[in-house]
Structure 1
Amino acid sequence: MIENNLSLWEKIELVTQEALVKKVLHPIPTHYQIVEENGIKFIVRILDNLDKKEKAKKQQKEKQKESNYKFNPFLPYEKDLFITDINENYVLILNKYNVVNHHLLVITREFESQDTILTLEDFTALWIVFKQINGLGFYNGGKIAGASQPHKHLQIVPYPLVPEIDTLPINNLILSNKNEDNIITLKSLPYSQAVSFFEDITHKSPQELGKITFDYYYQILAKLNIKIKDNKPSINYNLLITKDWMMVIPRKQEKIESISINSLGFAGALLVKNNIELEFLLKYKPLEILTKTAFNN
């Protein structure tokens, strides 16, 4: 259902420009540095204005108090953040408080819980967008995995995340371990995870890719001993998807000290609020911090 007269990327850029002018899109300003560990060039972003992020959280809490129900920013979503209908059940919008430019949200039109298992339809909707955008898709599966909203939403951040790195800090390491196996564990990473690889996706439809991804997803969950009961996984997890591979990381805690970790952290992009957190991260190194919020490999 994407408009014929504009490509999806042109529509994203247009909506972004208009949302900035209308001041309904609120980018969170940061600066960053590259921290290299074990050959991985981690991107560490430091907030320039903590007050702005805290103000956004406060506004959300106030809306929750004013409502008779828990505030849901996706029902209804802000029309000025709307990019396109993906299909009859999913909508593509901009992330209102973005750290990375053109941060996209694939949301269910009706409420579904972020705690539930991902479906074939979820993956198909992601691939409808993903086939037209070069970037990282990810899912924070539960609060411990960094989910900030209870309404089911997958996310996409376009490449590059920073000019120095073409794709993701973790990408080369993962691709260098590709072999004949459907599902592998990277022994070079200290935390528990499992990876599957996609073959050439060029001539596959979003529906075909959705089915392939859905099948791999269940295989990975089984390999990681993440069980499903009442349509929910037994362990919160982060899921990363590129056009070459998919990774799942089981989680045991949301943060280490005051540093919160979500899927982007395991892609190699970390966020700290101030120099105190930065010093902590530099002291203990990114891989140690990620491992403490996950499980040992």
Structure 2
Amino acid sequence: MTTPPRESSGTLWPAVVRQTEHALACGALHPIQTVRTTIEDGGVRFLVRQVSSLERKDEDARQRKTDPASRRAVNPFLPYEPDLFVADISDTHLVLLNKFNVIDHHLLVVTRRFELQENLLDLADFRALFDCMTQFESLGFYNGGPAAGASQPHKHLQIVPLPLDESASHLPIEPLLAAASSDGSLCTVPGLGFPHAFASLDAKLADNPQQLADRALHTYQHLLDAAGLHAVEVNGQARQSAPYNLLVTTRWMMLVPRCVERTEGIAVNALGFAGSLFVRNDMQMQTIRKLGPMNVLRRVAGLVPP
């Protein structure tokens, strides 16, 4: 088998823009239109997008859930849609556009061969992720299982470009991160109202994706331990013991254990813990205003042991 050529450093973003234009023109990409608002809670200026329509994505999800035996048969990554293909990022992973994107230029970093989303991340995953993320300012994230917001059983990481909103140059939660330890040790962030484990990454590695990936894998394993998660061997593969979300930048990582996918009908994935939430209608928007975004996150997160 011939190894495909990898995307050269600095060329990924132009490829993303080019393929987005093509996918929009041919109808392969279906952006979901939203109306954005902000809600202040606990020192975080949460960005809440109200989604205008999710019928198409919901129908796909219903089909997968009602017919588990056919999940691999309807796997959108095997084969993937050529019009959504962006780059061969490594011999183990490729990059696709997210077909039903809420955020512009939302990318999926997908394993070439089928692997379960509940399998633990490995060095190849982190190397593919940072080969992308070191080429433009971005946030990486992972939804570890359906209860953490994963809609596909095929292993995939996700990347969204920063900033998430033109009104702010940083992630909504970042003002709180200044109080966290910056020496790489595990800690919790004062003010974040949900269970989590946090660690900074060495800023000197930001331009070295391979070394950054090595360090990130080591940090990820310690974050799992801190959150009370561990590897469960199934058919010779290391699988997660419980669902979780992972947020990744070139400067820090944060892991959030999960107990349920949604509360009051509001689904939360990893982006929620970065301060970006999504609602379907006015009723859900009012629910978030009533409960407070931080309380919504508390309700879906699991417990970190003392």
TM more than 0.5: yes
Aligned residue number for residue 244 of structure 1: 251
For 1:143-292, what aligned pairs fall within 5 Å after superposition? 143-180=146-183, 182-202=185-205, 205-230=208-233, 231-292=238-299
Q: 2:48 aligns with which of 28, 44, 47?
A: 44
User: Does structure 1 retain, via aligned residues, the 8 Å contact 2:35–2:50?
Assistant: yes
Q: C-alpha offsets along residues 113-167 of structure 1, whole Å, 9 cap, x if unaligned? A: 0011110110011011111021100000011000000000000000111111112
Letter of the 1:163 partner, please give it.
Answer: E
TM-score, normalised with respect to structure 1: 0.93
User: Does structure 1 retain, via aligned residues, the 8 Å contact 2:243–2:257?
Assistant: yes
User: Does structure 2 retain, via aligned residues, the 8 Å contact 1:135–1:167?
Assistant: no
Letter of the 1:112 partner, please give it.
Answer: E
User: Does structure 2 retain, via aligned residues, the 8 Å contact 1:117–1:233?
Assistant: yes
Q: C-alpha offsets along residues 270-289 of structure 1, whole Å, 9 cap, x if unaligned? A: 00000000000000000000
Secondary structure of residue in 2 paired with 1:87: coil
Letter of the 1:58 partner, please give it.
Answer: E
Q: C-alpha offsets along residues 221-264 of structure 1, whole Å, 9 cap, x if unaligned? A: 11111121111121100000012100000001110011000000
Aligned residue number for residue 91 of structure 2: 88
CA distance 1:24–1:63, change in 2 (3 Å): farther
Secondary structure of residue in 2 paired with 1:123: helix
After TM superposition, give the deviation of residue 108 of structure 1 in Å.
0.2
For 1:20-169, what aligned pairs fall within 5 Å after superposition? 20-48=24-52, 50=53, 53-59=54-60, 69-70=70-71, 71-169=74-172
Letter of the 2:290 partner, please give it.
Answer: K
User: Does structure 2 retain, via aligned residues, the 8 Å contact 1:190–1:296?
Assistant: no
After TM superposition, give the deviation of residue 206 of structure 1 in Å.
1.7
Q: 1:15 aligns with which of 12, 19, 22?
A: 19
Letter of the 1:220 partner, please give it.
Answer: L
TM-score, normalised with respect to structure 2: 0.90
> Post-superposition, which runs of at least 4 consecutive aligned residues in structure 1 deviate over 6 A?
63-68
> For 1:69 and 1:133, how far apart are their aligned partners in 2?
37
User: Does structure 1 retain, via aligned residues, the 8 Å contact 2:163–2:169?
Assistant: yes
> For 1:150 and 1:44, how far apart are their aligned partners in 2?
27
Q: Which runs of 5+ in 1 are unaligned?
A: none
Secondary structure of residue in 1 paired with 2:19: helix
Query: Identity over aligned residues, as a percent?
Result: 38
User: Does structure 1 retain, via aligned residues, the 8 Å contact 2:176–2:190?
Assistant: no
After TM superposition, give the deviation of residue 205 of structure 1 in Å.
2.5
> For 1:193 and 1:80, how far apart are their aligned partners in 2?
37
> For 1:270 and 1:38, how far apart are their aligned partners in 2?
15
Q: Which runs of 5+ in 2 are unaligned?
A: none
> For 2:228 and 2:8, how far apart are their aligned partners in 1?
44
What is the RMSD computed on CA atoms of the aligned residues?
Answer: 2.1
CA distance 1:63–1:80, change in 2 (3 Å): farther
